Amino acid sequence: METTTTTVNLKQEALKNGLIWGAINVIIFLATWYTAPSLMSSYLYSGILMLVGIGLAVFFILDMRKKAGGFWTFGEALWNIFVMFLLSMAIMYVFNFVFGKYIDPSYPQTMKELVLTKTESTFESLGMTEDQIAEAMSASQESLDKQFTPTFSQAVVGFGIASIFYFIGALIFAAIFKKNRPVFLGGEEA
């Protein structure tokens, strides 16, 4: 049996896949925003985005592993998966800022209103009193201001926190999709 070696640059593949994934996220965002913006504040939309994200992650990870010759260590997997995750997130992060600031300045305010309406109805359905709702809505308003119209430092901190969560996700995916070369194919013993 002949062993194959790969000459594919996995870092370039990770960057390419991250760009494609980011572009797909932008297309989904724009299609939703211009066809059904109220959907963007729903849990269903968030759930669908999460499933699409997991599906794309699995597809791109399996593609990279295949291009690596079918085998890659945990470290190789982790680095390339994290680069892909981080780039796709950065594209969407920058796009959201540019979109809300220059393309459609009504986006941040509209999203805040949609989320606040949804939040208030959730609080009412939980049986909260008017005073409790008012207090919770005030806290929600502050949080949404930071999310949709952040200062530069809030944006940097938000990106850093999101990066940590994406790194944790990359750790999980790397643990699942690592595949060491078997000993009889020239791999290292465990």
**Domain range summary for the chain, segments of one domain joined by +:** 10-178
Q: How confident is the model at residue 1 (pLDDT cuts 50, 70, 90)?
A: very low
pLDDT at 170 over 70: yes
CA distance 106 to 103: 9
Q: What is the pTM of this model?
A: 0.84
Q: How confident is the model at residue 10 (pLDDT cuts 50, 70, 90)?
A: very high
pLDDT at 151 over 90: no
pLDDT tens digits for 88-137? 999 999 999 999 999 999 999 999 999 899 888 888 888 888 888 889 88
**Crossing angle for the helix pair 106-125 and 130-148, to the nearest 10 degrees:** 150
For residues 84-105, b (16+ Cβ closer than 10 Å) or e, as one string?
Answer: bbbbbbbbbbebbeebbeeeee
Closest Cα partner for 25 from 44, 43, 49? 49
CA distance 32 to 27: 8
Read off the tokens for 41: 């504040």
pLDDT at 3 over 50: no
